[in-house]
Structure 1
Amino acid sequence: MKSNSYEYDVALSFAGENRAYVEEVANSLNKRGIKVFYDLFEEANLWGKNLYEYLSEIYQNKARYTVLFISGFYNQKLWTNHERVSMQARAFQESREYILPVRFDNTEIPGILKTVGYIDLQQKTPEELATLIEKKLNKDQTFFRRRWSKLSTMINAKPFIFSIKIIDQDEKQVKNAKVVLVANNSTYLEGISDETGLAHFIIRTRKLYTVLIAHPQYPAVMFKNINPKEDIEVTIEKTEGFGSVIINKSGAVPGLTGKIEPIRKSDKVLALYADNIAIEDGSHQPYDFELNKSISLEDNGGNIIHLTFRFFQGRIALVDYCKHKSF
């Protein structure tokens, strides 16, 4: 059985700790005449290539299906998570199952819903799994050929992966930074940096974006008119006592009990509601504010925080904050 549309019938994505099982699956598929992407089958081909770009192309465009071997090890790896994001970009593009999850354990993987059907590997030998993969390919081959010509005319530009790496002044990766890309039409994409400092975004429409970055231990960072065609690296620096947060419609500020909700009263006037929080010693709400000018908030516990709005568009706000110091 060969695929005329793709270089590979199936690509295997797994953590190295699970290689023994996966290699048996790969060998079994290979013996059945199924074209499988398995890294050890491709050593000569991978030699010298930019693996970041090449593997993105494999998992996003060159395989009919990807089998995702889920385990606790998989969730901890940089490369496997890069592969996963590439798969998900493809899954967004097509209205059919593309990612076939199989589980060594119950680890949760970002973007893979618990309701998606999976195969329990504790109940399947590698040979049995290879048989199931072969059946899946055989079942869908005729249907896929009939449907693809129609489907391809409905798809616009292919989605692609845009990544932002966030490091601090000591060149250490910053994890758990909130990153939001805001387009000129106020649509947005949200992400959070992982253990390696990377935040990944699936770009489906080519636009310029304002990049917002916030973290409770770092001041806010903003870049305007960013073209996502190339990945970027951002260095953020700590300032003692300062943090930042991105508010989507409404949200909390660390150190305060209650929520705030910025609004746009008119083209030129911004205002702020605060729930169970006094603004500027109890001023009337909504309280008019300006970008880049500090205002003080106090909650019902006497905690005082100074806020400075750096950006507000649509319902997305980027906010710096610092705790009031008593002298």
Structure 2
Amino acid sequence: MNRTHWAVKDEDLFSRLYAAGLIDQKFINPVGRTGKLEELRFKVAFSFPGEVRECVLSIVNRLKSSLPTGSIFYDDDFTAQLARPNLDSLLQTVYLKNSDLIVVFLSGDYERKMWCGIEWRAIRGIINNKSDHAIMFVRSDDAEIPGIFEHDGYIDLNRFNPEQVADFILVRVRLNEQ
């Protein structure tokens, strides 16, 4: 053995060290990849009001079993990184630049919430750039949302359960990868 260093490029180093019994569980990131949020790339990001959090969490949990670790942006998985000044700028980066598909849960609650409005600005930018493949609408009511038209397609949350919605999202993720 004449090497002075080694590298792990394609696997999670902390998971490997934990599996070998060299570190404690506390070093394992339970939600995915580590790194600065503004530098991570996501296959799916969620924009939603807190009133549908339970439903969104069900969808996210189902997707986590089908997508690579760390490829989903769900706010509660990044609580420590979101607790900082200028969060609005960080969220603009996550939604506008670092996500392949943004799933937007539209409702009257979405329209009224400040943080949803901040996220919506980035989403409108994507729509204005005609990147329709990067946006997926899910509606829970018929509230009027500025920038959404009657002819815009959506998934009706009152018609489909969270497992079905997760399956629809997987279809879109796979189409975006082609």
For normalisation by structure 1, the TM-score amounts to: 0.40
Gaps of 5+ in 2: 1-39
Q: Which residue of 1 aligns with 2:56?
A: 22
Which residues of 2 match residues 133-212 of structure 1 at below 5 A? Answer: 133-142=169-178
1:102 counterpart SS class: strand
CA deviations 1:103-134 (Å, max 9, x no partner) are 10111111112201110111111111111100
Bigger radius of gyration among the two: 1
Q: Which residue of 2 aligns with 1:55?
A: 91
Task: Report the number of matched residues.
Answer: 137
1:17 counterpart SS class: helix
Equivalents in 1 of 2:131, 2:164: separation in Å?
27
Equivalents in 1 of 2:142, 2:163: separation in Å?
22
Letter in 1 for 2:46: L
Between Structure 1 and Structure 2, which shows a larger proportion of strand residues? 1
Do the aligned partners of 1:102 and 1:118 also contact (CA within 8 Å) in 2?
A: yes
Q: Which residue of 1 aligns with 2:22?
A: none
Do the aligned partners of 2:48 and 2:105 also contact (CA within 8 Å) in 1?
A: yes
1:48 counterpart SS class: coil
1:127 to 136, 153, 163: 163
* Deviation at residue 49 of structure 1 after TM alignment: 4.7
Equivalents in 1 of 2:50, 2:73: separation in Å?
15
* Deviation at residue 95 of structure 1 after TM alignment: 4.2
* Deviation at residue 97 of structure 1 after TM alignment: 2.9
Identical aligned residues as a percent? 34
Gaps of 5+ in 1: 1-5, 143-327
Q: Which residue of 2 aligns with 1:79?
A: 115
Equivalents in 2 of 1:95, 1:69: separation in Å?
18
CA deviations 1:36-94 (Å, max 9, x no partner) are 11100111222325211100111111101111101111111111011011111122224
Q: Which residue of 2 aligns with 1:298?
A: none
1:89 to 100, 107, 125: 125
For normalisation by structure 2, the TM-score amounts to: 0.72
Q: Which residue of 2 aligns with 1:7?
A: 41
Equivalents in 1 of 2:82, 2:132: separation in Å?
29
Do the aligned partners of 1:25 and 1:129 also contact (CA within 8 Å) in 2?
A: yes
Do the aligned partners of 1:91 and 1:97 also contact (CA within 8 Å) in 2?
A: no
